[in-house]
Amino acid sequence: DWTMGAYREEAIRKIREQVGDKKVICALSGGVDSSVAAVLLHEAIGDQLTCVFVDHGLLRQNEAEEVVGMFREHYNLPLIHADESELFLGELDGVSDPETKRKIIGKLFIDVFQKYANTIEGAEFLAQGTLYPDVIESVSFSGGPSVTIKSHHNVGGLPEKMGLKLVEPLRELFKDEVRALGHELGLPASFIGRHPFPGPGLAIRCPGEITREKLEILRKADAVYIDQIRKHGLYDEIWQAFVAILPVRTVGVMGDGRTYDFACALRAVTSVDGMTADYYPFSHEFLGETATRIINEVKGINRVTYDVTSKPPGTIEWE
């Protein structure tokens, strides 16, 4: 795409002009925005960029390995893998309120990012994958009354606190343009087309108290579900799909034994921007096959339900 080719060159020129020979740090989540921003910055300033990948222990199966592997090995990008799962899961122990979970995770995220960023001597810039809609949203919300249904965590306020200047190379772009730029930069299509994943991760897909046991079960069930969706060629038709593990055990039978295991809910929605959403109309065959696979392949789950709530009145996530 010639337009994105030109944009890329221009963006690189601007980054070099802004940053000079100074160092830049960047929080890499593995999501499309931060990934595209990181690769673009790396192209512009090479090893002056260091990324920090905060692993809060609430990621999906193999997610940390895949993200770290891709950026370190494939892009040769200086990357700190901050494995802080013990810290996050420790602080979340016994916490069941959704907003309290978000606050704890958001605060720890900033603490951890800051701790690692401080190890990078002479860093003067913080890079963020802020998009144009984020810019507009923060402007239109300021001043007027705003109703916050769920607090979304980001690193707002952090640059000032750390005395860093902001670099936001995607500030003029919409989501589809960021994807096009990612494509232009050679990011794999599977990466660019990934469903959005919330900052608090699996914490909000584990309603009620989070335990390591539930997280382990949830990861396995989610992996089977996404595998089913990909095998049936449905992944790109869906905005987001995931499993939530429910805070209830139910009775089942398996062979000639009684089971007493967790129930889970499958979620899949179509949406344009996440603000409203419709549940995805899977066939009964697909749902039945997926339920059978999850129950057979995931120890700890003996009941599978499908969530047919649209947004509004539901939200996409369960918390």
**Residues annotated within a binding site for ATP:** 29-35
Binding letters toward ligand XMP, positions 128-157, x by CB under 6 A: ----------------------x-xx----
Q: What is the length of the chain?
A: 319
- Between β-strands 240-254 and 257-270, what pairing exists: parallel, antiparallel or unpaired? antiparallel
Written as one letter, the residue type at 263 is A
Return all residues near 131 (Cβ < 8 A) that are at least 6 apart.
Answer: 33, 170, 171, 173, 174, 175, 178
Restricting to residues 90-129, name those near ligand XMP by CB under 6 A.
Answer: 102
Least distance from ligand XMP to the Cβ atom of residue 198, Å = 3
292: part of which helix (H) or strand (E)? helix 284-297
The verdict on 315 binding ligand XMP (CB under 6 A) reads yes
Site track for ligand XMP across 209-248, x = CB under 6 A: -------------------------------x--------
CB of 148 to ligand XMP, least distance (A): 10
> CA separation (Å) from 113 to 24, 124, 148, 317?
13, 15, 25, 25
**Selected binder of ligand XMP within 5, 133, 156, 196 (CB under 6 A):** 196
E strand residue ranges, the chain: 23-27, 49-55, 79-83, 123-127, 165-167, 240-254, 257-270, 278-279, 301-306
Q: Residue from 78, 159, 274, 300 that binds ligand XMP (CB under 6 A)?
A: 274
User: Does 175 sit near ligand XMP (CB under 6 A)?
Assistant: no
Q: How far is the CB of 308 from ligand XMP (least distance, A)?
A: 15
Q: Which is nearer to ligand XMP, 18 or 309 (CB)?
A: 309
Task: Report how many residues bind ligand XMP under the rule CB under 6 A.
Answer: 14
Half-sphere exposure of 149 (CA within 13 A, CB side): 10
Nearer to ligand XMP, 19 or 265 (CB): 265
Q: Contact region for ligand XMP (CB under 6 A) — 115-123, 139-147, 193-201, 221-229?
A: 193-201
Instruction: Give the tokens for residue 158.
Output: 């952090």
Residue 83: is it exposed, middle or buried by C-beta count within 10 angstroms (0-12/13-18/19+)? middle
Interacting residues with ligand XMP (CB under 6 A): 102, 150, 152-153, 196, 198-200, 240, 274, 311, 315-317
